[in-house]
A and B are shown apart, each in its own frame.
Chain A
Amino acid sequence: MKDQDQISAAVQPDGDVAPAAAKKGGKRPVAPVRKEAARRKFIRSVALAGGVVGLAMLGYVPVADARKSRLRPPGALEEHDFLSSCIKCGQCVQVCPVAAIRLDDIDHGFGIGVPYIDARMQACDFSCDAVQCILACPTGSLTYKKPEFVKTRAGMKLAHAPVLKAKEKDAEPTLNLKERIGVARLSRPDACLAVQGKAFKGPARGSDFKGRMRYMDVDRWKPIAVRDHPYERDICDLCVSECPIKDAIKMEETVGADGLKRYRPAVLEQCVGCGVCEMICPADPAAIVIDERKAWEAA
């Protein structure tokens, strides 16, 4: 402020003098103090540039070592393309009727503001019927049809459009979803109630679990809390009965060495990786989990 006042005092409000003064001003020798101040300002500015860009590039660290890979919403591009195309607006979060989609924080580096699904807390049960998150995405990060040039992965394509059990009687029973987002896997068979031949009675995840699901026999358009919908099964088969997709999982019956019946959930090729089985599994931690971005393999 001070030096500008000096300048304004030096220049007389006279149109004739001003151009000459301007010309002279360009050639006037600069005082050493000014030179030093300019030099410091320049160094400060370089440090600022280095600091801010350096901090921004720290975002690489969590992405590069990918400590926590994420289950992404349906229709997501492959991870790198997903992170680059996502505009971090959260419109997918807003349209999801069961609030399955959350946004990542700054500890995920470049993944900040990017949507993911924590299936154990709240899985995608397709209660929107139309994959609303894909419809909402403004940049094509979530898409019905991947453009030609983006990377794809073998084994992610579904053999045919998945049939949504809830829509089975509709004219168009399928979901517009061409690829799976992951695949279910019985990770802890020993903990599985069916494998143990055990019954299950009560709310699937206890009375304080906040997850929600759509039950067709309750209300097609209004998902309710899982804790408000207790179950009673002679042999636990929640992962099979609650799976929203037709032919994605079945209960296999075998006969053990002792001649008794044995049960085991088997994941089938139509599994899309929505995570309802992981959410609903009464074992803690879940006996069945979603492997994100994994292809289905015949057992």
Chain B
Amino acid sequence: MSAFERIKVMVGGDPQKPAVFTPEAREIHDLKRMSKADFEAMKQHARDHRLVTHKWRNRRWVVLLLSNLLFTFSFWLDIQLLEGSLTASRFVGFHLIDLNSALQVMLAHKHIIVNLFIGTATVFVLWAALGGRSFCSWVCPYHLVAEWFEWLHLKLAEKKLVSDHEFHRGARTVFWLLFSILALVSGYTVFETVSPTGILSRALIYGPSLALGWVFLLLVFEVVYSRRAWCRYVCPIGLTYGMVGAVSPLRIQYRLENCFHEGDCRKVCLVPHVLDVVIKGRAADKHVPIGPDCTRCGLCIDVCPSGALVYDIKGLSKLM
């Protein structure tokens, strides 16, 4: 899949089956046409040796909590290490500005001062290197809270008390455009009014607000009606970082030779369309990078019993 096609999937397109397969991929696909009994036995073997691990999830939660609490303690203890909130801050004096907030302000105000430019450029380079949407799963406080409520949704869904209603993934692209146009036309940063990321970040630093009620309503909506709806179908921050991460060297890589096509990864994934490649017969190459909509959260790595998904830095494996 070309980079262009991966971006197409991110903005809402359906993943397509590849037209051309590399010889290695074809060989592996052919090798997997063993007898059903053989295949089942191998699967069973992998399952038996499965390690139930939460390694990456735990690391991620620690990073997410620490980076958010660093804001809080920096202010409370007045140590001036990380001043501001997630929308804009200064880390030991260096300006850092959230890309989507910067976009909203630039479109609404139509004037860019030097500090705004520096902070935006710094964050752009930072997340281009670190994987774009890794901001979502490793930093965004709403992601963490939504993850906890997702657990509740899945429990209730298991008991058939609720069910997941999917929306069209293209909706997020429409939201991105709408909020950009609204900022440009109205001259207000309209998205910031409803952004749970900004609301939660400010609440963690400056104390609780009425706006937390809105965040709670969103979470209830996600529990009873649509799993992870905000992150999947609405949040323009995710798309902004996704576009930045499209060129990132840090991504998750799929290894066809290790995969039993059991689909556990797709069940835990926030954005399962990026894992279309793990479906039997879909991988065009032996190793396939996962698309830019992936938040690099590592849940799939934790859940895969056979190590078919790994963190990868483009070019580094060749060097080593």
Contacts and interface: CB of A to CB of B under 8 A. Distances in A.
A130 to B, nearest CB: 15
A123 interface: no
Contact of A147 (B26, B32, B84, B111): B111
Contact of B188 (A14, A83, A113, A143): A83
Interface stretch (A52-60, A181-189, A197-205, A233-241): A52-60
Interface residues of A, number: 60
Contact of B194 (A55, A103, A139): A55
A103 B206 contact: yes
B206 A139 contact: no
A49 B178 contact: yes
Nearest to A97: B78
Contact of B17 (A4, A21, A56): A21
B209 interface: yes
B161 interface: no
Contacts of A18: 17-19, 21, 281
Interface string A39-66: 0011011001100110111111001000
A15 B29 contact: yes
B193 A56 contact: yes
A282 B177 CA distance: 53
Contacts of A49: 171, 174-175, 178
Given A15-B25, A106-B209, A41 B166 contact: yes
A53 B266 contact: no
Interface stretch (A88-96, A243-251, A256-264): A88-96
A84 B192 CA distance: 10
B233 A90 contact: no
A25 interface: yes
A1 B171 contact: no
B261 interface: yes
B143 interface: no
A49 B234 CA distance: 8
Given A80-B187, A83-B188, A11 B171 contact: no
A7 interface: yes
A112 B263 contact: no
A105 interface: yes
Residue among A12, A19, A59 facing the most chain B CB atoms (10 A cut-off): A59
A279 to B, nearest CB: 21
B83 A95 contact: yes
Contacts of A88: 85, 87, 101, 189, 192, 198, 202
Given A14-B29, A19-B19, A53 B192 contact: no
Contacts, number: 203
A106 B210 contact: yes
B267 interface: yes
B261 A113 contact: no
B90 A110 contact: no
A138 interface: yes
A93 B207 CA distance: 12
Nearest to A80: B187
B265 to A, nearest CB: 12
A23 B265 CA distance: 27
Contact of A91 (B19, B90, B168): B90
Given A14-B281, A94-B83, A139 B113 contact: yes
Contact of A13 (B19, B32, B97): B32
A75 B266 CA distance: 52
A110 B83 contact: no
Interface in B208-229: 209-211, 213-214, 229
A84 B191 contact: no
Contacts of B245: none
Contacts of B192: 87-88, 110, 112-113
B269 to A, nearest CB: 11
B109 interface: yes
A281 to B, nearest CB: 28
A1 B202 CA distance: 37
A22 interface: yes
B16 interface: yes
A168 interface: no
B189 to A, nearest CB: 7
A24 B36 CA distance: 27
A165 B14 CA distance: 68
A5 interface: yes
Given A22-B16, A139-B115, A139-B116, A94 B29 contact: no
11 contacts: A7-B279, A8-B261, A18-B281, A48-B167, A59-B193, A60-B188, A90-B202, A91-B84, A112-B199, A138-B90, A138-B95
Interface of B: 16-21, 25-26, 29-30, 32-33, 75, 80, 83-85, 87-90, 95, 97-98, 101-102, 105, 108-109, 111, 113, 115-116, 119, 165-168, 170-171, 174-175, 178-179, 182-183, 186-194, 198-199, 202, 205-206, 209-211, 213-214, 229, 233-234, 261, 263, 266-267, 279-282
Given A89-B87, A105-B209, A112-B199, 5 more contacts: A45-B170, A49-B174, A87-B102, A112-B192, A136-B83
